[in-house]
Structure 1
Amino acid sequence: MTDRQARLRPGVMALCGAVGLSLALTGCGGGSDDARPQTAPSAASTVSPVASASPADPDAATKAAVLASYTAMWVEQMKAYRKASPDGTKLDDYATLDALSAFERDLAHMKKNNTVIRGELGHEPEVTALDVDAKLPTATVEDCIDLSKWQTLDTKTNKTIPLPTAQPLRYVATATVERWDDNRWMVTEYEPDGSRTC
């Protein structure tokens, strides 16, 4: 692991001005914790990776590997959000640094607010940038997040918490994915942007 990989970078989550998934998770509560956008998926999301590569694209296999890691992260993240806990998941096999820290904050926030995720979260991920020649190969993934089948459940009342009226049902999230020394692609940053609809 390099020094860059070992250190935690400043958080990448947007603050209270942007619309993020924390609103979907908590039903837009009044506390400052409730205003922080989160990155939660539901457990049964629909992921349709798009490698954005033509058949002649020399980077097609690399883009497919990036999307495979990104998709695997979502699968594990959804397992965690269904129970508001990372226990029994392999989330840290695919996400690390800022991304993993943000997901762990989401889970702690959900546990504190007695919420879990039900329904589905749609995805349309695409590799939009790739630098395999860098010392630390890096890719950028843009994903169109679809909340139309998303549900946040209050575990105390067993009732669904409605999405805030300002929450867009489809918006863009951007992930940074790095290839580490063991040849694994790891999601190191994940940032939802409620101001960019898709």
Structure 2
Amino acid sequence: MTHHSTRFALAALATATGLGLSVSACSTHDSAAPTSSTPAPPPDPGTTTASPSDIAKQKATAAYLDMWEDVANVATTSDWQSPRLADHATGDALSVLSRQMYADHYNGLITKGKPVNTPVVQSVDSQDAPKTVMIRDCSDASNWLKYRADNGQLVDNESGGKHLITAEVKLAVDGAWRVTRFAIEGIGSC
């Protein structure tokens, strides 16, 4: 598989993701809240508390961005077995990312640089108890390119360009938000 720059095998990603799977993954985060002997101050009556929907949007967006940060870091070695991939991805998303890393490892490729993501929340499944957030992103992979691991040579001279990404982020049973599926459109789709 000698594919161009870091379109991160976008064709494979786009066809392998079709949006709709549930999550169940382990996390290293401790769910127990820290205890304190000092009582918390009362809320300021002049401030408003964020709604469950707003909190879900923030956490889902952070998980989405963290997933791409993890992918960019792992791609520098194409370590398809890195546990870091499961920190913010699960289900189809994790499977696609792991397979792409394995393909790059098998073909002696690594990826340098990082994508530039600009996610926007498209929908939340519930205002009171959200469990699914849909995100739309115009990701710029122009400076996220594939290189040969053995000699450091750029695989090709094409830039990654901008790609439309649609992602599903779900609340897992452990309380963490993780990307469960995503679809990536071709270069110039946004």
Same fold per superposition (TM over 0.5) = yes
Per-residue displacement from partner, 1:46-68 (whole Å, max 9, x unpaired)? xxxxxxxxx99842222101111
- Contact 1:144 / 1:172 at 8 angstroms: preserved in 2? yes
3-state DSSP of counterpart to 2:186: strand
Identity %: 22
* Counterpart position of 1:73: 67
What is the distance in 1 between the residues matched to 2:133 and 2:10? 29
The answer as to 2:189 corresponding to 1:197 is yes
Supply the AA of the counterpart residue of 1:37: A
Give the count of matched residue pairs.
Answer: 154
Does 2:12 match 1:37? yes
- Which structure 2 segments of 5+ residues have no match? 15-47
Task: Report the CA distance shift for 1:92/1:108 in structure 2 as closer, same or farther (over 3 A).
Answer: same
Q: Partner of 2:36 in structure 1?
A: none
CA distance in 2: counterparts of 1:136 and 1:124, whole angstroms:
22
1:74-100: per-residue Cα shift (whole Å, max 9, x none)? 222122111101455422121111000
When normalised by structure 1's length, the TM-score is 0.66
Tell me what 2:18 maps to: none
Gapped regions of structure 1 (runs ≥ 5): 1-21, 28-33, 40-54
User: Aligned residue for 1:17?
Assistant: none
Bigger proportion of residues as strand? 1
Alpha carbons 1:126, 1:143 under 8 Å: kept: yes
Relative to structure 1, the CA distance from residue 35 to residue 74 in structure 2 (aligned partners, 3 Å threshold; closer, same or farther) is closer
**Distance between the aligned counterparts of 2:143 and 2:164, measured in 1?**
17
Residues 26/150 of structure 1: CA separation in 2 closer, same or farther (3 Å cut): closer
Q: 1:172 aligns with which of 145, 164, 168?
A: 164
> Which of the pair has more CA radius of gyration?
2
**Cα root mean square deviation, aligned:** 3.0
Distance 2:74 2:116 in 1: 17
Q: Which has the higher contact order (CA 8 A, sep 6+)?
A: 2
Q: How many angstroms does 1:182 deviate by?
A: 2.1
Q: Which moved more, 1:131-140 or 1:170-179?
A: 131-140
1:187 counterpart SS class: strand
